[in-house]
Amino acid sequence: MSRPRRHGQRRGRRDIALGVLGALLAFGVCEAVSRSGIVRRDYLPPASEVVRRAVELAGDSAFLDGVGATLRAWALGLALACLIAVPVGLLLGSVPVVDAAVRAIVEFLRPLPSVALIPLVSLLLGSGTGTEVALVTYAAVWPILFNTMYGLGESEPLAKETLRAFGFGRAAVLLRVDLAGAAPFVAAGIRISAAVALIVAVATELLSGFGEGLGIFIAQAQLATDGTRDVLAGVVWAGALGLAVNGVLVWGERRLFPWTPERRGARP
């Protein structure tokens, strides 16, 4: 086993240990603050009760159906964002004239928060999964789009010139060199968009109040007389889903792109 690889594995184990330590520290602080009476239990239940409630929800079929609905909207929205953002990013990154023509529109649309578009999209698509998927797609497009464009700028000029010298056309160079070089950047954009998409999916359910999902569970729990524990348990589920998704995507990046310095664990 090479030295950089051993170093990367040690660093990975250290990061995991530090992450677990930080989580345990936060758990202990929340538990102590609640049980000491500094904050009323109505506002901040003990962390142990919240975690216990979150575990109990794993056996609630209705709750799991809601989580499944959220994940379906998340996955569909993220997939649509990839199908839109990668080709558009390749076009804008490889054709400067097109990039210049639409740059003002892109910069106008990018800062618009997805949740602010709930009324408009609801009028167009109705109150259902379609609205949630559309908003998730809109929010998830931008990181993938700009990472794709940035990745194209990092492609190897010598490799492109070599292909052109052997008679390959512009499309072949784009697919064989530019897209291959941009792939790690696209993957990073997808990982960022996955977290954004999950946030928007839950927020859309929470703010719109229609359909089913994890956000609907949290919205209904906050209306209950003693619903703070359920609200926080739903938040724990949202955080756990985000952590799991990020972990899977990081693992996939390491498997698909082991040649990048950060994946090898090498220091610059």
Apex CA 135: angle with CA 131 and CA 141, to 5°?
Answer: 145
The Cα 186–Cα 180 span in angstroms is 10
Q: Tell me the longest C-alpha to C-alpha distance in the chain.
A: 76
Instruction: Check: CB of residue 93 under 8 Å from CB of residue 144.
Output: no
Instruction: Write down the pLDDT at residue 207.
Output: 85
Is the pTM value of this prediction over 0.85?
no
pLDDT of 230-259, one tens digit each?
A: 999 999 999 999 999 999 999 888 888 876
Instruction: Write down the pLDDT at residue 141.
Output: 96
Instruction: Write down the pLDDT at residue 4.
Output: 54
pLDDT of 176-186, one tens digit each?
A: 666 777 888 99
Task: Report DSSP letters for 145-156, one per residue.
Answer: HHHHHHHHHTS-
**Position 134: which residue type?**
A
Instruction: Check: CB of residue 233 under 8 Å from CB of residue 57.
Output: yes
Instruction: Write down the pLDDT at residue 158.
Output: 59
Q: Point out the residues of the chain with pLDDT beneath 70.
A: 1-9, 12, 154-178, 210, 259-268
Instruction: Write down the pLDDT at residue 244.
Output: 94
Instruction: Write down the pLDDT at residue 125.
Output: 82
Structure tokens at 50: 């919240």
Instruction: Write down the pLDDT at residue 63.
Output: 93
The Cα 179–Cα 159 span in angstroms is 12
**Token pair 């990081």: residue:** 250
**Position 10: which residue type?**
R
Domain 61-264 has CATH 3.40.50.300: no
